[in-house]
Structure 1
Amino acid sequence: MVALAFLIPLGLVVQQLARERAFADAERQTAVVVAVLTVTTDPLAIERAIASTGGPAVSRVSVHNLGEEGLEIGTGHAAAKDLAHAADQAAPVTATVEGGLSYLEPVDVGSGRTAVVEVFIPEDELSNGVSGAWWALTAVAVGLVIASVWVGDRLAAKVTASARQLAGAAGALSEGYLDVRLDPSGPRELAEASFALNVMADRIMALLTNERELVADLSHRLRTPLTALRLDAETLDDSQDADRIRDAIAALEVEIDKLIRAMREPIDAHSPTPDRGERSDGAAASTGEQGCDVAEVVRDRMMFWSAVAGDQERDCKAIGTESPAPVHVAKSELAAALDALIGNVIRYTPQGVPFEVAVTRRDDGYVVLRVEDGGPGIPDPELALQRGESGQGSTGLGLDIVRRVAVEGNGTVNIGTSATLGGASVVIVMADADPAPKEQPPQSRFGLVGRLSREPNERRRRGKAAS
C-alpha cells in the first residue's frame, strides 16, 4: 500500500509532464511564426517561417485573419468563435477541438488588425509515453506487492515456527519430558524465551536429582536405628507382641529398601514424570502387584492395630471382611492408606475412643472402605485433604496418601461425620476389580403385542387407585 501511494502520484506527474511537453512544442512553433508576423505579413515569408519549424508538426500550424483580406494560411481546426475569442485576448488561449487541442496566440500586425496563430496538438501528443509509463509503474507496483508479500510470509513463517516450537517444548516440559531443549531462534524476544526455557529445564533436572539424592540419603540414615530396633526385637520372648514388633520392623525395612532403590534410579528424562496425583513406578511396580483384596488387607492390618487399641483401651472392630472385595490398587499402597487413617485415630483422639473399619462391596461396581471413630471429628475436610496442610502439628501427608490411593483405584475419598460413633468418617470409594454383571429386566414373550394389550388394563387400574 505504501508503494501504491507513491506510484500513483508519480504516474500523474508523468501524465502532466507529457502534456506540458506538447504545449512547449506548440509554443516554440508559435514563437517562430509570431517573430515573422511582427516584421511582415507577406504570406510567402510566413509560409517559409512555418516550414522552418520542421518535422511533421509543420502541417499543424496555421495563421488566421492575415491582412486586410483575412487570408488563411494552413489548415485550421479551431472554430470561428474560438478564433474571435482568442483575438480579443492579450495572452494565448487553448480551445478544445476534435481530436485534440488548439493552441491559439493572438498577434498584433498593425493598423488595428490582429492575426491568430494556431498550433493543433493531437490527443496522442498530449498523452505521448503516458501509457507506457503507467504500464511500467503498474509492473513495478505488482513486483513490489509480490516481493513484500513474499518477504512478509517468510518473516511470519520464521516467527510462527519459533513460537510453535516454543509452545511445543513448553507443553512437553509440562507433561514431564525433562529432556526438552530448544535451539534459540527467531526474533529476539522468542530467542530469549527459548533460552529461558532451556535454563528452567536444566534447573528442574538439577532440583529433581538433588531431591532424590536427599530422600535416598535420609532413607539410608534410617537403617541404623532400624537395625538397632531389629536387634532389640530379637531379644524379646516369643510372645504375640514380640512377633508383632518383629513383623512391623521387617515391613519397615522392606519399605525403606524400596524407597532407596527408587530414589537411586536415574531420572528418565525421555518419559513423562508422574505428578503428585499419580502413582509412580515405585513399590507396587517393583513387587509386581496389580491389585488386592480390600477385606484381606483390613484383616491383616487390624491384627496389628487391634493390639495397639487394646493397649489404649479402645474398642475396635472390622465389619464386612468375610467376603472378598478386589480392587485395582496395590496391597502395599492400600495398607499404607489404611495405616495412615487408623494411625490418625490413635494419635489424635483421646485414649478409650472407639473406632471401626468397614468394607462394603456394592452392586454398582464399587468397593467402599470406611474408617470411623468417636473422636472430635475433622473440622475442615477440604483443608485436611491438601498435601502438607495439618492443624494437628503433623506432616499433613496421611490424608493425601489416602486421596492418591482413591485416585489410583478410579474412585474418590469423602470426609464426613460418623452416624454411629459421632466422630470422623473417612470413606474411600474404589472401582470393583470384578464387578458382578448387571441383571437385565425380563423380556415379555409377547413383545409389542403383549405390551399393547397390558397398557389399557394398567391405565384402568391407575385410574381406580387415583379415585
Structure 2
Amino acid sequence: MRSRLTLLVAGTTLLVLLAFLVPLAVLLRQVAEDRALSRADDVVQTIVPVAGSGDLTALRLTVTAQPVPVTVFLPDRSVIGAPSERTPGVRLAAATNRALTVVTDDGQELAVPVIGAGGTTVVRTLVTDAELTRGVTRAWSILGALGLTLVLLGLLVADRLARAITRPITELSEVSHRLANAELTARASPAGPRELREVAGALNHLAGRIQELLAAEREQLADLSHRLRTPLTALRLEAESLRDPEESARIASATDQLTRAVTAVIQQTRRRDAPPAVATCDAAAVVRDRVAFWAVLAEDTGRDLRRNLPEAPLPVAVSADDLAAALDALLGNVFAHTPDGTPLSVTLTGRPGGGAILEITDEGPGFAASEARRGASGGGSTGLGLDIARQVATTFEIGATQAGGAQVRLEIIGA
C-alpha cells in the first residue's frame, strides 16, 4: 500500500509538472525568438533612415557599427556591409516594396526596402538559429532540474504520508495476529487518520470483550464442575456402604477417577495465561489399568476382551488423565454402540522413533465416516468421544476390520 500511494503521488506530480513545464518551455523558446528578431529589427530600423538619406559614407559607418552582420543592397547593385548574395527575400522585398521576414535554412532573414531618389535600397540581416535559441537550452535545463526536484520532493512527501498511513495499519495487523494467537492482552494504539483510530478502538473493545466472555465461561465451567463434587461425594459414600468389598472398591475407584477429572477441569479453567506444562506418562501402565477396569464390564456383558499390551514402559508426551480419558471414550463407544457379546481388542505397541500406537477394534456394525466429526453422532450420544481421543494423538485414523467392525488407530509421540 505504501508503494502504491507513493507511485500515485509521483504520477500525479509528474502529470502536473508536464502540464506546466511543457507550455512554459514552448513559451521560453518563443520569447527567445521574439527577443532575437526584435533586436535584429531594431538594428535594421537604425540603418533605414541613413539608407534613405543617400549618404553612403554615413551608411557605411552606421552598418559597420552594428553588433550584428547587416547587408545593404543599393539600387546600382552594389553592396555595403557583410558580403551576401541577393536572396529571394531581398529580391521580393525590392519588387514589392514591403518589409519581409523569410525563414531559411540558416535562420530567419529580415529584408526592409528603402525607397530613394535613385531606386529601392534593401537593408537585410540574418538572425541565425543559434541567435533564435540563445539561452533556451539553459532555461530548459533549469526547468528540467526544477521539475526533477519537485518530483523527488513529492516522492519524499508521499513516502512520509504513506508511512504515516500504513504504520497504524501494520500495527493493527500485528495486534490482530497476536489476538489470533490467544495473546488477549494485546492492544492497539489509536493513531493515524480518524478512521484508523476508530478501527483500533473497535479492535481493543473486541479484545476486551473476548477476555470478558472467556473469563465468564471459565467461571461458569468451574462452578459447574464444582457442583459435581457434591453428588460425587454422595456416590462415594454409597460405594463404601456396599456389602461386597470387591464391588465397593471398584465403584470407589471409578468415583475417585471421576473426582480427579472434575478437579483437573476446575484447575484448567482457573488457569489464565500460564504456559501449559509438558505432561508425560507411561502409556503401557495407563492402558493396562484402564483395560483392567473395563474388563469387568466386558465380562458382565459377555464380551471377549482381547488385549495385547507390552510389559516394558512406553513413555509418551501425554498426561495420564488425558490418555485414560481418550481410551475410556473409545471403549465407552464400543460398549454403548455394539450389542452385548461383541468381541473387542486393545493393542498397544511401540512407535518407531518413540511413542506408542494404540488400536481399538471390535466386531460390531462399525460406523460411517460422517460420524467421526466433532458433535456428530448416530447413536444419540454427544459425539465428542472420538474428538477427545483425537486430541491426544498426532495421527488419528478410523477404519473398518475385515469383519466390518470399527477400527480406531492412534499414534502418540514419545516423551
TM-score interval w.r.t. the shorter chain? 0.7 to 0.9
Deviation at 1:315, TM superposition (A): 2.9
Contact 2:360-2:408 within 8 A present in 1 as well: yes
Is residue 341 from structure 1 mapped to residue 330 from structure 2 by the alignment? yes
Aligned-pair distance for 1:14? 0.9
Q: Give 2:372's aligned residue.
A: 385
For residues 123 and 56 of structure 1, the distance between their equivalents in structure 2, rounded to whole angstroms, comes to 23
- The Cα shift of 1:120 comes to 4.9
Aligned partners of 1:106 and 1:229: how far apart in 2? 134
Q: What's the CA shift for 1:265?
A: 2.9
Task: Give the Cα–Cα distance (whole angstroms) in 2 for the partners of residues 364 and 289 of structure 1.
Answer: 19
The CA distance in 2 between the partners of 1:404 and 1:391, in whole Å, is 21
The Cα shift of 1:71 comes to 6.0
Q: Which amino acid aligns with 1:144?
A: L
Match of 1:80, SS?
coil
What secondary structure, in the 3-state scheme, does the structure 1 residue paired with 2:412 have?
strand
Counterparts in 2 of 1:261 and 1:425: CA distance versus 1, 3 Å: same
Q: Which runs of 5+ in 2 are unaligned?
A: 1-13
Q: Does 1:21 align with 2:28?
A: no
Q: Secondary structure of 2:74's partner?
A: strand
1:57 and 1:49 mapped to 2: Cα distance? 9
Q: Which amino acid aligns with 1:92?
A: L
- Whether the aligned pair in 2 keeps the contact of 1:293 and 1:327 (CA below 8 Å) is yes
CA apart distance, 1:152: 2.7
What is residue 452 of structure 1 aligned with on the other side?
none
- Opposite residue 394 of structure 1, the aligned amino acid is S
Pairs within 5 Å for 1:67-466: 69=76, 75-82=81-88, 83-89=90-96, 90-94=98-102, 101-109=108-116, 113-121=119-127, 125-186=131-192, 193-267=199-273, 281=276, 285=277, 289-294=279-284, 296-361=285-350, 367-380=356-369, 383-407=370-394, 412-419=395-402, 422-431=404-413
Amino acid at match of 2:322: E
Deviations 1:101-132 (A, max 9, x none): 54111233367x32212245466643444344
Q: Deviations over 1:378-402 (max 9, x none)?
A: 121xx34322222222222111111
Counterpart CA distance in 1 for 2:39 and 2:336 is 115
| Cα offset, 1:168, TM superposition | 2.8
Does the CA-based 8 Å contact 1:178-1:205 persist in structure 2? yes
Q: Deviations over 1:238-287 (max 9, x none)?
A: 5211111111112211221221122123345xx6xxxxxxxxx3xxx4xx
- C-alpha distance in 2, partners of 1:22/1:265? 91
Higher relative contact order (CA 8 A, sep 6+): 2
Long gaps (5+) in structure 1: 272-280, 434-467
Q: Structure 2 vs 1, CA of residues 143 and 306 (structure 1 numbering), >3 Å: closer, same or farther?
A: same
The alpha carbon displacement at 1:197 in A equals 3.6
Which residue identity is paired with 2:213? L
Structure 2: distance between partners of 1:341 and 1:157: 56
Return closer, same or farther for 1:167/1:56 CA change in 2, 3 Å cut-off: farther
TM-score for the superposition, normalised by structure 2: 0.82
The AA in structure 2 aligned to 1:17 is: V
| Identity, % of aligned positions | 39
CA shift in 2, pair 1:25/1:309, >3 Å:
same
Contact 1:299–1:321, Cα closer than 8 Å, also in 2: no
The verdict on how the C-alpha distance between 1:81 and 1:244 changes in structure 2, with shifts beyond 3 A counting, is same
For residues 358 and 376 of structure 1, the distance between their equivalents in structure 2, rounded to whole angstroms, comes to 20
Deviation at 1:335, TM superposition (A): 0.9
Cα distance change of structure 1 residues 11 and 32 upon mapping to structure 2, 3 Å threshold: same
Aligned residues, how many? Answer: 399
Q: Give 3-state SS (helix, strand or coil) of 1:116's partner.
A: strand
Distance in structure 2 (CA, Å) of the matches to 1:163 and 1:351:
63
